[in-house]
Amino acid sequence: MALNTEVAADTNAPAITRILAQFVATHPSRGWSDAVDHEAHRTFLNWLGCAVGAARHEAVGAALSAVQMLQPAPQAQVLGRSDRLDMASAALVNGISSHTFDFDDTHLKTIIHPAGPVASALLALAECQGASGRALIDALVIGIDVSCRVGNIVYPEHYDRGWHITGSTGMLGAAAGCARLLGLDVGQTTMALGIAASQPVGLREQFGTMTKPLHPGAAARAGLMSALMARQGYTASPRALEAPRGLLQVVSSKCDWAQASDELGQRFEISFNTYKPFACGIVIHPSIDACAQLRAQGIKPDQVERIELRVHSLVLELTGKKEPADGLAAKFSVYHGCAAGLIFGQAGEDEFSDAIVNRDDVVALRRKVVATVDESIDEAAADVTVVLRDGRSLRVLVEHAIGSLQRPMSDAALSAKFHALTDPLLGVARSAELIAAAWSLGDSADLHGLTALARP
């Protein structure tokens, strides 16, 4: 028998579980600027396109086959497929799908992908409950605020320790959003957050396997169920987040409590959300962007003698694969990224297909990329000079890549990204209808029209 009664350091943490629950339960509908509300639509649109686009991936198929062993009731739509599942299973599978291409949104302050856990839980619940689009958008803003604020409390120590922060904070965002959508009161919402606190999901060791996208999916499911249980009177500690043996002190040695309440209800973390224009790790984006700009200036691949790339050491450390054998490996090759940017002007899932990665002209061009480390260049920047056969050279310096907070993707670019993801499954016309439905989500009476459009 061994019983240890010592407790961790901070016994005086503010009551953030309750503070956040109060915000979730009582903040007014659309109690934010039009810019925040528009950002919520952008977040939803981007998440939806990613989920539909990956629907045929084998990870989604495997998860779906497992869930079907439970003979689930047809309550909610699996995006991009004909299947319907009970709402918790739909939250799981759509959450997996939305993160499978690693093409979803990023809260850069914490590297959280916030929509996966939150939107996946909310759409399934909203569809099943007949909630309005406005209620969903409200819950999305609020749920993402909760998970990202919690991320701000513990980042970076929590992430450095090995947690995949998307899934280890996402269940709280999903619980918060679902509590809001269910109309739970402050006490019940406190319990929902408390129940979810015991269920963090995700290890960085899983990166590169199907279990990485399981993290937002399982977090979506856990958060949704936590809210349903709280509604039925299930109890948890009202200090489940902040107590010495509560979630945050257990999973992080850094706990900056003020991040929970600073400008709560005034500053919304969804404002800091970003969307990837390119279907690969974010450190390659400035290099792709620079090469796409060179293409826009009229440079053709057959004019190129070599491409001189100067980047921070981290870029080569993370994405230094010179000869990627397939699409997955190419996502870790800044060389392939440069070739794709110059040849195609873009780098979506298509440009990371095995066929493209092994196409002769692509292979030839990436071999002309000469990368040099320059620590004076920021991790988020790239300095690219193309030297042409005729002796001329052109230089493009990208300080902030397209898709960064400083240079956000335009609404049109987000729609185009959506088309590229969904046209192969839904066709161009249906994709356009789905895009329109997503842009006007806040005005829709319910979600049935939107989910029907996401069924091929």
Considering only residues 216-255, where is the footprint of a copy of itself by CB under 8 A? 218, 222, 225, 228-229, 231-237, 239-240, 243-247, 249-250
The alpha helices in 297-375, defined as continuous H runs, are 313-319, 327-330, 334-344, 354-357, 360-366
Here the tokens at position 11 are 């016994």
Footprint on residues 272-301 left by a copy of itself (CB under 8 A): 282-283
Question: For the residues of 197-247, what is the DSSP string, one character each?
Answer: HT----BGGGTTSTHHHHHHHHHHHHHHHHHHHHHTT----TTTTTSTTSH
Does residue 86 belong to the site contacting a copy of itself (CB under 8 A)? yes
Tell me the window of 29-37, 160-168, 263-271, 288-296 that interacts with a copy of itself (CB under 8 A): 160-168
Selected binder of a copy of itself within 159, 278, 332, 335 (CB under 8 A) = 159
Does residue 379 belong to the site contacting a copy of itself (CB under 8 A)? yes
The sign of the CA dihedral 435, 438, 443, 448 is positive
- Residue 330 CB, nearest approach to a copy of itself (Å): 19
3-state secondary structure of 106: strand
Does residue 452 belong to the site contacting a copy of itself (CB under 8 A)? no
- Residue 250 CB, nearest approach to a copy of itself (Å): 4
Closest CA to 247 of 203, 195, 189, 198: 198
Tell me the window of 67-75, 115-123, 256-264, 348-356 that interacts with a copy of itself (CB under 8 A): 67-75
Selected binder of a copy of itself within 9, 35, 62, 452 (CB under 8 A) = 62
Our CB check for a copy of itself shows the closer of 304 and 398 to be 398
Does residue 197 belong to the site contacting a copy of itself (CB under 8 A)? yes
Tell me the window of 35-43, 130-138, 312-320, 343-351 that interacts with a copy of itself (CB under 8 A): 312-320
User: Element (H or E) spanning 370, and its range?
Assistant: strand 369-373
- Residue 163 CB, nearest approach to a copy of itself (Å): 6
Tell me the window of 1-9, 37-45, 360-368, 437-445 that interacts with a copy of itself (CB under 8 A): 1-9
Does residue 10 belong to the site contacting a copy of itself (CB under 8 A)? no
3-state secondary structure of 30: coil
Residues making up the chain, counted from first to last: 456
Selected binder of a copy of itself within 27, 57, 215, 368 (CB under 8 A) = 215
Please give the Cα distance from 110 to 301 (Å, whole number): 37
Selected binder of a copy of itself within 35, 258, 296, 314 (CB under 8 A) = 314
Does residue 329 belong to the site contacting a copy of itself (CB under 8 A)? no
Does residue 446 belong to the site contacting a copy of itself (CB under 8 A)? no
Tell me the window of 63-71, 255-263, 363-371, 413-421 that interacts with a copy of itself (CB under 8 A): 63-71
Other CB atoms within 10 Å distance of the CB of residue 425: 18
Does residue 206 belong to the site contacting a copy of itself (CB under 8 A)? yes
Tell me whether residue 195 is exposed, middle or buried, using C-beta atoms within 10 angstroms of its C-beta: 0 to 12, 13 to 18, 19 or more.
Answer: buried
**Residues 332/392, Cβ–Cβ less than 8 Å:** no
Our CB check for a copy of itself shows the closer of 247 and 342 to be 247
The sign of the CA dihedral 37, 39, 44, 49 is positive
Our CB check for a copy of itself shows the closer of 74 and 427 to be 74
User: Element (H or E) spanning 21, and its range?
Assistant: helix 16-26
Q: What's phi and psi for 394, nearest 5 deg?
A: -125, 140
Selected binder of a copy of itself within 19, 40, 48, 87 (CB under 8 A) = 87
- Residue 396 CB, nearest approach to a copy of itself (Å): 20
3-state DSSP percent of the chain in helix, strand and coil, to 5 = 55, 10, 35
Footprint on residues 177-196 left by a copy of itself (CB under 8 A): 194-195
Total of chain residues touching a copy of itself, rule CB under 8 A: 81
**Residues 11/244, Cβ–Cβ less than 8 Å:** yes
Residue 155 DSSP symbol? T
Does residue 326 belong to the site contacting a copy of itself (CB under 8 A)? no
